[in-house]
């Protein structure tokens, strides 16, 4: 009798950050981990020709859920994910349609296609095991954003751990990933975003961030904090943790993302602290309100995180030469974005603006990704028989390091490869 292997289709997220899509096929069912989007290049994963039966949505960032409607239109897979992931997916998918039109790079789906995805989404909880045909899956807390999951797929007596994006260490908003029940893994598909570097300890980053915020407002300036929408709740938690007394405003999609966290408090490390933080902040809803709040010293957390879109441009126009104010960047700036160009040149350039900023600019990394040390700890704790490196630009080098450090078989496939397992 022929010994059938599991086929792994590497459709996206290989030797790139984001755009994740990995399909496992045992001849009985085809299970797809995520179906994302490459934000920098506006590219989707390779669309599989064969039907996909099940899709696991591991968290609600655009680079992980951003092309699910494209896949769903063709293959109609059953979709599984947590409540916060569904809520965030709804937010970022509708916004992606809008941004695509503005950038003249339209998405290959419309609002009705997004509705179809949401109407055919089955909600699952952490530590819940459920069947996918002859296989089964368990979701574990990934510690990345509210509702984020690692997925343990058990297929044909093989255990495959798909980490998606994760963080082992606690943040102000979330507990670190829960891997205490994950045992005897045959293959781990692991994100490697920060495989080439460690960052300063989170407490140190938080304290330095608070010092800059307080100094800025106390000297009569605006502390402008561009943020990815989904990071806004954590920044509010940090401000609350250190008992910041100044006026705090939340603008853009950060408002909606913060409201989603507020409606899913069972996924938050300290729900009481988040409630206090929400009660002490004010949501900005219109242009007139923006014009009013910049007249007095305050803290403004606003989208977009990479400064291409959102209300951030409106604020920068008013404060870019105000040396009392500060621009406080809190995360990775994607190549090709206005934020990355500003980081490299000191100029803020969009379709409408070309400004030389003279206000102080600060950068802090509030990453929700595992650092290099956490990635190595993950391999050490799980001790899988094989590691597949994904979601990073240094995957080949990191796979080599894993082989030499742990004696574990590690690979870094290219997009489009099909691997026998």
Give domain status of residue 71, yes or no: yes
pLDDT, position 310: 79
Residues 266 and 379 occupy one common structural domain: no
Calculate what percentage of the chain has a pLDDT beyond 90.
93
The residues that bridge with 81 in the sheet, in sequence order, are 123
Closest CA to 367 of 249, 239, 200, 139: 200
Q: What is the pLDDT of residues 371-396, one digit of tens each?
A: 999 999 999 999 999 999 999 999 99
Mean pLDDT across the chain: 95
Cα 219 to Cα 15, 78, 223, 296, distances in angstroms: 45, 55, 11, 11
Q: What is the pLDDT of residues 228-265, one digit of tens each?
A: 999 999 999 999 999 999 999 999 999 999 999 999 99
96 pLDDT exceeds 70? yes
pLDDT, position 351: 86
Instruction: CATH number of the domain at 280, please.
Output: 3.40.50.10890
Among candidate residues 363, 386, 403, the one where a domain is terminated: 363
Place of tokens 């597949």: 388
Place of tokens 């089955």: 122
290 pLDDT exceeds 80? yes
Please compute the mean of the pLDDT values over residues 161-168 and round it to a whole number. 98
Report the alpha-carbon distance of residue 18 to residue 332 in Å, rounded. 13
177 pLDDT exceeds 60? yes
Structural tokens at position 287 = 């242009």
pLDDT, position 304: 86
Residues 212 and 287 occupy one common structural domain: yes
417 pLDDT exceeds 90? yes
Please compute the mean of the pLDDT values over residues 183-204 and round it to a whole number. 96
Give domain status of residue 217, yes or no: yes
* Contact (CB, 8 A) for 399 and 387: yes
Residues 270 and 306 occupy one common structural domain: yes
pLDDT-derived band of residue 308, with 50, 70 and 90 as boundaries? confident
Give domain status of residue 2, yes or no: no
Closest CA to 233 of 337, 98, 88: 88
Residues 337 and 311 occupy one common structural domain: yes
pLDDT, position 192: 98
Please compute the mean of the pLDDT values over residues 126-146 and round it to a whole number. 98
Number of domains making up the chain: 2
Residues 11 and 138 occupy one common structural domain: yes
Give domain status of residue 101, yes or no: yes
Instruction: CATH number of the domain at 395, please.
Output: 3.60.15.10
Give domain status of residue 1, yes or no: no
Give domain status of residue 93, yes or no: yes
Report the alpha-carbon distance of residue 284 to residue 302 in Å, rounded. 9
The Cβ of residue 76 has, within 10 Å, a number of other Cβ atoms equal to: 14
The Cβ of residue 148 has, within 10 Å, a number of other Cβ atoms equal to: 31
Cα 64 to Cα 55, 138, 202, 263, 375, distances in angstroms: 12, 19, 25, 22, 19
Q: What is the pLDDT of residues 312-338, one digit of tens each?
A: 999 999 999 999 999 999 988 877 889
Give pTM, 2 decimals.
0.95
Give domain status of residue 325, yes or no: yes
pLDDT-derived band of residue 11, with 50, 70 and 90 as boundaries? very high
pLDDT, position 2: 47
Q: What is the DSSP letter of 175?
A: P
Please compute the mean of the pLDDT values over residues 354-368 and round it to a whole number. 95
Residues 211 and 192 occupy one common structural domain: no
Residues 96 and 233 occupy one common structural domain: no
pLDDT, position 221: 98
* Contact (CB, 8 A) for 140 and 180: no
Residues 84 and 208 occupy one common structural domain: no
Give domain status of residue 110, yes or no: yes
Residues 258 and 177 occupy one common structural domain: no
Among candidate residues 342, 363, 384, the one where a domain is terminated: 363
Residues 317 and 354 occupy one common structural domain: yes
Q: What is the DSSP letter of 211?
A: H
The parent domain of residue 135 ranges over 7-196+369-420
Report the alpha-carbon distance of residue 298 to residue 128 in Å, rounded. 43
Residues 211 and 340 occupy one common structural domain: yes
Residues 301 and 186 occupy one common structural domain: no
Report the alpha-carbon distance of residue 82 to residue 263 in Å, rounded. 13
């Amino acid at each position: 009798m022929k010994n059938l292997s599991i086929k792994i289709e590497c459709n996206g997220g290989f030797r790139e950050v984001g755009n994740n899509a990995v399909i496992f096929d045992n001849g009985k069912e085809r299970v797809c981990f995520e179906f994302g989007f490459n934000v920098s290049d506006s590219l989707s994963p390779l669309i599989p020709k064969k039907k996909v039966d099940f899709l696991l949505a591991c968290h609600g960032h655009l680079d992980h859920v951003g092309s699910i409607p494209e896949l769903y239109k063709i293959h109609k897979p059953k979709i599984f994910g947590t409540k916060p992931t569904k809520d965030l997916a709804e937010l970022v998918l509708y916004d992606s349609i809008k941004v695509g039109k503005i950038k003249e790079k339209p998405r290959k789906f419309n609002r009705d296609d997004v509705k179809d995805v949401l109407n055919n989404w089955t909600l699952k909880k952490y530590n819940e095991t459920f069947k996918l045909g002859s296989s089964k899956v368990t979701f574990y807390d990934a510690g990345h954003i509210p509702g984020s999951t690692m997925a343990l797929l058990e297929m044909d007596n093989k255990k495959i751990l798909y980490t998606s994006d994760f963080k082992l260490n606690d943040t102000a908003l979330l507990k670190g990933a829960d891997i205490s029940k994950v045992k005897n893994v045959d293959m781990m598909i692991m994100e490697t975003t920060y495989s080439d570097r460690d960052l300063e300890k989170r407490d140190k980053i938080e304290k330095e961030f608070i010092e800059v915020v307080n100094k800025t407002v106390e000297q009569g300036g605006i502390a402008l904090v561009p943020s990815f929408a989904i990071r806004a709740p954590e920044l509010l938690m940090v401000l609350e943790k250190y008992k910041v007394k100044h006026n705090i405003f939340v603008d853009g999609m950060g408002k909606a993302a913060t409201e989603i966290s507020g409606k899913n408090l069972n996924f938050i490390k300290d729900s009481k602290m988040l409630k206090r933080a929400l009660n002490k902040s004010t949501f900005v809803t219109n242009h007139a309100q923006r014009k009013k709040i910049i007249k007095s010293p305050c803290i403004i957390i606003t989208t977009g995180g990479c400064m291409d879109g959102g209300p951030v441009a409106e604020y920068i126009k008013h404060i870019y030469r105000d040396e009392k104010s500060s621009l406080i960047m809190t995360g990775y700036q994607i190549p090709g974005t206005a934020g990355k160009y500003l980081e490299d040149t000191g100029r803020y350039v969009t379709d409408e603006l070309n400004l030389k900023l003279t206000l102080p600019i600060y950068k802090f990394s509030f990453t929700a990704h595992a650092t290099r040390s956490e990635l190595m700890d993950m391999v050490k704790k799980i001790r899988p028989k094989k590691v597949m490196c994904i979601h990073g630009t240094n995957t080949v080098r990191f796979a080599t390091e894993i082989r030499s450090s742990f004696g574990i078989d590690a690979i870094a496939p290219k997009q489009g490869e099909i691997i026998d397992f």
